[in-house]
Amino acid sequence: DAGVIQSPRHEVTEMGQEVTLRCKPISGHNSLFWYRQTMMRGLELLIYFNNNVPIDDSGMPEDRFSAKMPNASFSTLKIQPSEPRDSAVYFCASSFGGVETQYFGPGTRLLVL
């Protein structure tokens, strides 16, 4: 298995632009998690899906952030409009079940200028 796949690996954009991060979970996994990692705040859970349905989005910073999971093999995290404080590494993870057995992707390093 290729593991969790994220794209792009790096993204540089200007403030105000829309950013879309993509994730392909491990085949057969039914839970998907989006995290943000910064030096200031460490690793934070943004949202997680179970069977393609958002279960807990309490970690989503504000309305500028949205996440979708249209099918079991694809999810997006969108930031519109982006701001410099959104600069971080965004990780996607998937599991069969809960957080206990999640596997992380390599992350997308986002820089908003």
Partner 1 sequence: GESVGLHLPTLSVQEGDNSIINCAYSNSASDYFIWYKQESGKGPQFIIDIRSNMDKRQGQRVTVLLNKTVKHLSLQIAATQPGDSAVYFCAEIPNNNDMRFGAGTRLTVKP
Site of interaction with partner 1 (CB under 8 A): 4, 31, 38-45, 48, 55-56, 84-85, 87, 91, 93, 98-107, 111
- In the complex, least distance from residue 8 CB atom to partner 1, rounded to whole angstroms: 14
Considering beta carbons, is residue 1 or 41 the nearer one to partner 1? 41
- Strand 42-50 and strand 53-56: the pairing is antiparallel
For residue 49, the minimal CB distance to partner 1 (Å) is 11
- Amino acid identity of 62? E
Structure tokens at 39: 């030096």
Comparing CB distances to partner 1, the nearer of 6 and 65 is 6
Q: In whole angstroms, how close is the CB of 23 to partner 1 at the nearest point?
A: 11
Establish how many alpha carbons lie within 13 A of residue 80's alpha carbon, considering only the half-sphere containing its beta carbon.
Answer: 9
C-alpha to C-alpha distance for 41 and 38, rounded to whole angstroms: 5
Partner residues linked to 53 by β-bridges: 50
CB 43 to partner 1: min, Å? 4
